[in-house]
Amino acid sequence: MRTVSWDETHQQVKMIDQRLLPGEFQEVSFTNYDQVAEAIQTMVVRGAPAIGASAAFGMALAAQISSASEVPEMQADLAAAAQVLQAARPTAVNLAWAIERMLGVANDPGIDDVRALQAAMLDMAQRIADEDVEINKRMAAHGAGIMRENEVVIHHCNTGALATVDWGTALGVIRMAHEQGKNPHVLVDETRPRLQGARLTAWELEQYGVSYEIITDNAAGYFLSSGKVDRVLVGADRAAANGDVANKIGTYMLALAAKDNQVPFFAVVPTSTVDLEIPEGKLIPIEERNQDEVLGIEVKGEQVAPKGAEARNPAFDITPNRLITGIVTENGVVYPPFEVNLRQAVIGSQN
């Protein structure tokens, strides 16, 4: 079942509500693009590829519900929808990438009929979703190809089917290796403060039958230094042209510990997540979320933090390319120098 999809019968966007997992599996539907934008912002849906597909379907929904009778009016409606969706979350480049593709259809001079534009917008959104699944499987094959049997892998955040339309990026590699009989074992970082690892990655690994154990984020260094880890696999919400990677907060510390202990560290990144317009990671905008995500943590029903405490809550950090062994893309595994080789991988996907 796909994380985000189009309900043809009701002309709505459907998503798995990831806030409820693992306790409850529930699909929710949205009837306008404002609701889709809110779902992205409030993390009903999360993960860069899934966010991009959700925005694409949000644009398609904007076309379907538009009351415009002429193409220029509908184009104005779609431009307004693009602004709302674009503002939902700042770090994941797939959001802007998908909206740009949708606006390319909206402004196609060859489309001069409202119904034709509605159909073309929906077709492009579905194409983006279908492409994501195919790209993920290609990445998974490349990534699984470099894994040996019985590897122990540390994985951070959630990068599986829930973070994409289906299959996944880094977790997709693990899933592929499992299906190839390589028997990987995963040490799942909890990934605080929202616990995407303990909640979502663990749930997905249960579905696939992959062996795993949950660890606290600050235990990763212990396992890396004790020689009990063969590889680190993470995803990314944006990669700069030089191979610096923006990923879920805690990735940078994990990469430092991996480097210090000579453990290979790989990011699994579709080329749509590579932003060649940003030369280095420090220029990537970092989302800072509500402090309640940190302060609201409870143990046995009691809030951990003192009443009146304040917190900082950056959602992502930057892992510099010097700490990255390789970047797995749908066009193969990219190794340093990333400034040259990553660009070639991206251009290869565009040809």
| pLDDT tens digits, 148-203 | 999 999 999 999 999 999 999 999 999 999 999 999 999 999 999 999 999 999 99
pLDDT above 80 (res 348): no
Q: How confident is the model at residue 101 (pLDDT cuts 50, 70, 90)?
A: very high
Q: What six digits make up the tokens of 235?
A: 């995803």
Q: How confident is the model at residue 349 (pLDDT cuts 50, 70, 90)?
A: low
Percent with pLDDT over 90 in the chain: 97
Mean pLDDT within 263-275:
97
Encoded amino acid at 160, one letter: G
Q: Do 175 and 318 lie in a common domain?
A: yes
Percent with pLDDT over 70 in the chain: 99
Q: Kindly list the catalytic residues.
A: 237
Q: Are 58 and 33 in contact (CB under 8 A)?
A: yes
Q: Do 191 and 303 lie in a common domain?
A: yes
Mean pLDDT within 263-284:
97
Q: Are 79 and 117 in contact (CB under 8 A)?
A: no
Q: How confident is the model at residue 46 (pLDDT cuts 50, 70, 90)?
A: very high
DSSP 214: E
Backbone angles phi, psi at 29, to 5 degrees: -120, 150
CATH code, domain with 71: 1.20.120.420
Backbone angles phi, psi at 204, to 5 degrees: -65, -45
Q: Do 159 and 90 lie in a common domain?
A: no
Q: Do 131 and 155 lie in a common domain?
A: no
Q: Do 115 and 193 lie in a common domain?
A: no
Q: 285: cis peptide before it, omega within 30°?
A: no
If you count DSSP H runs as helices and E runs as strands, how many of each does the chain have, helices first? 12, 16
Q: What's the start-to-end Cα distance of the chain, in Å? A: 31
Residues linked to residue 268 through DSSP beta bridges, in sequence order = 328
The last residue of a domain, from among 76, 108, 135? 135
pLDDT above 80 (res 326): yes
> What was the pLDDT predicted at 1?
79
Q: Does this model's pTM top 0.95?
A: no
Q: Do 85 and 160 lie in a common domain?
A: no
Q: Do 142 and 130 lie in a common domain?
A: no
| pLDDT tens digits, 103-150 | 999 999 999 999 999 999 999 999 999 999 999 999 999 999 999 999
